[in-house]
Structure 1
Amino acid sequence: MRSLVLIGHGSHLNGDSAVAVYRYAELIRERGLFDEVIEGYWKEEPSLRQVLKTTASTDVTVIPMFISEGYFTETVIPREMGLGHQGPVPPEGIARVIGGRTVRYTLPYGVHPSMGDVILARAREALPDFNAQDTALIVLGHGTTRNENSNRVIYQNADRLRESGLFAEVHALFLDEEPKVGTWPDVVRAPRVVVVPFFASEGWHTLETIPEDMGLTGTVTTFAENPHGAQQVHYARPVGTHAAVADVILHLAEEARGAGGPGGDAERGHEAAWQAFLERARRGLRVGEMMIMPERGVFELRHMLDEGVPGGELATLVTPEGLRDRVRFTDGGEHRPVHTLRNLPRGWRAVLSEADLRRAVHYTYPAVVEETYAHACHALRPTPWATTARRQTGIYAKVQKATPDQVEHVARDVCSACLRTRLWAGHKLTHSFLDGVPGGLPCAEACTFVVAEVREEVSGKRGAGGGHSH
C-alpha cells in the first residue's frame, strides 16, 4: 500500500484557497497509482497535526503544494508534522519513521525542473505563435525578503527558458522584490510580450495586483507608446492551475527519498478505527451533527435535524466529493475551516457505498474517527496549550505572550461553538459517538483557528472589526 498526501496552505476565511489541492488530488486519484490520495492543510482540516493519522498505509509520501521553497515548506510543515527537520530540503527529499509510518517529504512541486514545460504550455495558450524573433517572456514571481530561497526557482526557470532560444528575451520579475514587475516597459524591448505568473492558484494577485501594476486591461493589452515602441502584452493564467502539474507531483513522488519497492502495509491503528466505525455504522450511527443509516446495501447520510424529512425534499449527493463540496460551507454560504463547528449545512442526503463511506466521513469530519478511536483506546495524548504556543514561529510566536485568561476567553468564545471536548485544556470526555453519544468528539490540541484568534487577542485586535490576518 502507498499513501500520497498533498499539503496546501488553506485559509480560515477563503473557501477557494483549498480548491486547487482538491483538484490535483482528484486528478491523481483517477490514475490509480496510489492506494489513497489525502489532502492536508495549514489553516483547514485535516490539519498538519492530524493528517498523518488519516493515512491508511505505513508508506506515506508528502508533497507540499507550494510554488517555491520558503518559510512554510522549510519550517512550518516539517515542524507541524513532526518530521524532525528544519531548513532547506535536499533534492531527494527526507525520510522519517513516525509512529510506525515511513514518511517521505519532498521539495515543493514548483521547484521541479519540469515546471519549465508548464510555463511554456501557459505561454502557448496565451500566444500560440510566439517566436524567437519578436516575443519576450516574463516569468513573474511573488518574491519576498523573508526567505532567500523563494525567488531562486523563478531565476532558474528564466535561465532555462532563455537558454532554450525559444524567445527573443526572457526576464524574471517580481511583485514584492526587485526587479519589480512595474519596471517591465523599461526592461522589455520585444514588440510582443507573454507574461506567465508563477503562482500556485488564481487569486487576488493574479486577478488584481499584477494587472494593476502592469497596466493590463485584459488577456491582451496593447501599449502604443512604451519606451521601446508599441508593445502587445499577452497575459497567461498561473502555472499552478495547469493540469500538467499533476504529472509534476507524480514525478516528485517517484523521486522521493527511498521511494520504490513493495510499498507499506495497512496501518493497524487506522484500520482498527475504521472497522470499529463501520461496525457501528451498519447499525445506524450519529457522528456530530450527521446521521448515518444503513439501507439495502448502501448508507444514507444526512443532517440529524433532517431526520424524517422525505428524501425527495433533500438534494441527493452520490459521491464523497459531492458531500465534501456541500459541507465546506454553511447554509449561509460561509466557509467552514473547522468542520466540527455546530454549523453543518442542512438540506441534503448522500447515498453511498461502504467503500465511499470512509472518504465521505473523512471529508465531513476529518480525523475524527481516528482520534476518537485512539481516545477510546487511551492512546490519544493531549497537547497542553503551553506546548502548542511554544511551537509557534513567525507572526504566531506572539501567542506565547498570551495569559491563561486570554486563552480561556478565546476558547470559551470559539470552542463553545464546536462539538469537540477540549482535552488540551484538561476537560474530560467519558463517552464518544462510538459509545452512542453523538457530540462526544475529543480535541487533543488547540486548532490553528484558536491559535490565530489568540494572536488577535494578544494584539488587541480581536473583535475590533478588522486586522484579521488568518
Structure 2
Amino acid sequence: MYRYAELLRSRGLFDEVVEGYWKEEPSLRQVLRTCRYTDVTIIPMFISEGYFTETVIPREMGLGHQGPVPREGVARTLGGRTVRYTLPYGVHPAMTDVILERAREVLPDADGEDTALIIIGHGTTRNENSNKIVHQNAALLRERGVFSEVHALFLDEEPKVTGWREKVRASRVVMVPFFASEGWHTLETIPEDLGLEGTVTVFPGPEDGQDAPGLEQTVYYGKPVGTHPAVADVIVQLAEEARGASVTGGDRAQDHRAAWDALTALADQGLRMGEILIRPQGGLYELRHALDEGRSSETLVTLVTPEGLRDHTRLTEAGEHRPVHTLRNLRRGWRAVMNASDLQRAVHLLYPAVVEEGYACHTHALRSTPWPTTARRQTGIYAKVQKATPEQVEHVAQDVCGGCLKTRVWAGHRLPQTFFSGVPGAIPCAEACTFLVAEIREEVAGKRGQSGGHSH
C-alpha cells in the first residue's frame, strides 16, 4: 500500500493520495475526514470481489451500498464530497497482462508447446465472486495460446493446487499466485504444500516400479501479481474510468482546511500534541518526541521526509508494529525537519485523523458514534459483538484503551478541551476502533486472552 501510494504521488496525477485500512489507521471510518478535496475516488486494494469489497468497505465508509459493485462503480455525495467507489483492482481487465508479465519474469522463453501456466487463487466458500476472476483470467490466457495448458487452482477450494501433477501434462510449469501481496501464503504455505525449493524446482518422473505422477516436470514459481509495478497503472485506469467527464475536482473541503490552518498557526508558536513536540525552526518545523525535549540534535536520528518519519515510527522501541498510532508507545530518539508543505503529511502519518477529529471536537462539531450503533453495524464474524453486555464492553475497553491517548467520547466521556486549546493529551475517540471490536468479539466468545494476550 505504501509503495503504490508513493508511486502514484510521484506521478502527480492526483491532488492527493491517501491510504485507509480495515485494521490500521486511518481506519475506513476515518479516512474520508482526512481528505483535503471534495472529489474522492475509493479504490479497494483487493485482488478479487468478495465480502470485504461488497459489504465491509461500503458499510464502513457510509456508501449506502451492499452487494456486487456495478462495472461503472458507485457514486454518492457524502458530507459535501463526491465519493466514487470502484471495483477492486484485481478484477480489472489489465490484470490479465500482469499475470502474463509475472510468468515471463520467471520463464522468459515460455513456449506454448511444452509450458503450462497455473494461476493460484486463495478460494473461499463464503463468496462465489472470490474465485470468479481467477477462472476468467485463466480462460482469457487460454485463448491467447501462449501456453499449452492454463489451469486455475486454489488453496482452499477445489480444484486444489496440491493436485497439480494429476492435471498438468507439460514438462515446464509456471505458477503465478493471484494474491495481493507477499505474505504467509505466497512465502510459506504454497512453497511448503507443493514442495517448492525456490524460484525453480525440478520434480522427477517415476522410477521403475514406482506409482508416481508422470514425466519429469520443472516448476517456475513467480511473484504475486499484486506486487507488480503495473498495478499502479491499473489503479490510475480505475480512477479515470470512475471520474466521468462532468467532474472538474480540485475544490478544497472547508472543514479540512480550517483544521489544518488552525494546526499550522499553533505549530508556528510551538505545539505539544499527544507524544510529539512541534517547533518552528528557521522557516522549517522540527518534530520530535516530547520526552526528547532538550536533547541535543546530534544525539537524535534526523528524518527529512514524511515517509521516512512514518517508517521510523511505525514500530515500537521493541520492534513491534504500531497499527494504533495514539497508543503511548511512540519510539524516542528521532527528530524530523519538515518544510511547511510536508508538515501536514508528517503529522497525518504520525497521528492519522487526529487533527480533523480534534478540531471538530474543539469547535463542538464532532459527531461520535455510541457503541450500540457500532455493534449493530457489524456483520460476519463480528456480528457476535451485538450480544456483548455493557459490563463486558467497559471491561474490555478499560484494558484495550488504557494505553491510548484518546478519550472515549463514544462511551460518553467528556472532553471539554483538546490539544487545540493547549492540553497535549486531549484527543477525542469518536468511535470504537476495529481493535476494540475484535477484542469484544473474543470476550463474548469466551476466548479472550487464550492466545497469550490481546492486540495491544
Q: Same fold (TM over 0.5)?
A: yes
Q: 2 CA distance for matches of 1:260 and 1:326?
A: 42
Q: Does 1:289 align with 2:275?
A: yes
Letter in 2 for 1:163: E
Alignment of 1:22-33 (within 5 A): 22-33=2-13
Q: 2 CA distance for matches of 1:463 and 1:228?
A: 49
Q: Does 1:303 align with 2:283?
A: no
Gaps of 5+ in 1: 1-20
The match for 2:209 is none
Q: Residues 169 and 190 of structure 1 are in contact (CA less than 8 Å); yes or no, is this contact kept in structure 2?
A: yes
> Structure 1 residues 246, 322: closer, same or farther in 2, change over 3 A?
same
Q: 2 CA distance for matches of 1:210 and 1:290?
A: 43
1:326 aligns with one of 308, 312, 324? 312
Q: Does 1:185 align with 2:171?
A: no
Deviation at 1:228, TM superposition (A): 2.9
SS for the counterpart of 2:308 is helix
Kindly, what percent of the aligned residue pairs are identical? 73
Q: Does 1:248 align with 2:212?
A: no
* Higher mean displacement: 427-436 or 206-215: 206-215
Deviation at 1:469, TM superposition (A): 9.5
SS for the counterpart of 1:221 is strand
Q: Residues 95 and 258 of structure 1 are in contact (CA less than 8 Å); yes or no, is this contact kept in structure 2?
A: no
Q: 1 CA distance for matches of 2:171 and 2:128?
A: 33
Q: 1 CA distance for matches of 2:160 and 2:121?
A: 9
> Structure 1 residues 291, 469: closer, same or farther in 2, change over 3 A?
closer
2:68 aligns with one of 85, 88, 91? 88
Letter in 1 for 2:240: E
Q: Does 1:233 align with 2:219?
A: yes
Q: Residues 304 and 337 of structure 2 are in contact (CA less than 8 Å); yes or no, is this contact kept in structure 1?
A: yes
Letter in 2 for 1:138: I
Q: Residues 95 and 102 of structure 1 are in contact (CA less than 8 Å); yes or no, is this contact kept in structure 2?
A: yes
TM-score norm. by structure 2 comes to 0.97
Letter in 2 for 1:97: T
Deviation at 1:216, TM superposition (A): 1.1
Deviation at 1:42, TM superposition (A): 0.3
Letter in 2 for 1:110: G
Alignment of 1:122-141 (within 5 A): 122-141=102-121
The match for 1:174 is 154
SS for the counterpart of 1:97 is strand
Alignment of 1:272-287 (within 5 A): 272-287=258-273
SS for the counterpart of 1:383 is coil
Task: After superposition, give the CA deviation of every residue in 1:18-70 in whole Å (9 maximum; x if it has no partner).
Answer: xxx11100010000000100000000000000000000000000000000000
The match for 2:321 is 335
Deviation at 1:468, TM superposition (A): 6.9
> Structure 1 residues 183, 259: closer, same or farther in 2, change over 3 A?
farther
Letter in 2 for 1:445: E
2:345 aligns with one of 346, 355, 359? 359
SS for the counterpart of 1:413 is helix
Alignment of 1:194-233 (within 5 A): 194-225=174-205, 227-233=213-219
SS for the counterpart of 1:138 is strand
Task: After superposition, give the CA deviation of every residue in 1:180-225 in whole Å (9 maximum; x if it has no partner).
Answer: 0011000000000000000000011001111122221111110112
Q: 2 CA distance for matches of 1:82 and 1:92?
A: 19
The match for 1:13 is none
SS for the counterpart of 2:327 is coil
Q: Does 1:267 align with 2:247?
A: no
Letter in 1 for 2:10: E
SS for the counterpart of 2:279 is strand
Q: Does 1:449 align with 2:435?
A: yes
Deviation at 1:463, TM superposition (A): 1.8
The match for 2:140 is 160
Letter in 2 for 1:77: I
The match for 1:433 is 419
Extract structure 1 runs of 4+ deviating beyond 6 A: 467-470
> Structure 1 residues 467, 310: closer, same or farther in 2, change over 3 A?
closer
Q: Residues 94 and 257 of structure 1 are in contact (CA less than 8 Å); yes or no, is this contact kept in structure 2?
A: no
The match for 1:316 is 302
Q: 2 CA distance for matches of 1:338 and 1:49?
A: 14
Cα RMSD of the aligned pairs, angstroms, is 1.3
Deviation at 1:327, TM superposition (A): 1.6
Q: Does 1:401 align with 2:393?
A: no
The match for 2:208 is none
Q: Residues 41 and 243 of structure 2 are in contact (CA less than 8 Å); yes or no, is this contact kept in structure 1?
A: no
The match for 2:446 is 460
Q: 2 CA distance for matches of 1:331 and 1:400?
A: 36
Q: Residues 303 and 346 of structure 1 are in contact (CA less than 8 Å); yes or no, is this contact kept in structure 2?
A: yes
Q: 1 CA distance for matches of 2:348 and 2:68?
A: 32
Deviation at 1:259, TM superposition (A): 5.8
* Higher mean displacement: 222-231 or 92-101: 222-231
SS for the counterpart of 2:20 is strand
Q: 2 CA distance for matches of 1:241 and 1:468?
A: 30
The match for 1:111 is 91
Q: 2 CA distance for matches of 1:380 and 1:288?
A: 19
The match for 1:372 is 358
Letter in 2 for 1:345: R
Gaps of 5+ in 2: 206-211
Alignment of 1:5-24 (within 5 A): 21-24=1-4
Q: 1 CA distance for matches of 2:455 and 2:415?
A: 33
The match for 2:32 is 52
Deviation at 1:467, TM superposition (A): 9.1
SS for the counterpart of 1:189 is coil
> Structure 1 residues 468, 237: closer, same or farther in 2, change over 3 A?
farther
Q: 1 CA distance for matches of 2:264 and 2:128?
A: 49
Q: How many residues align?
A: 450
TM-score norm. by structure 1 comes to 0.94
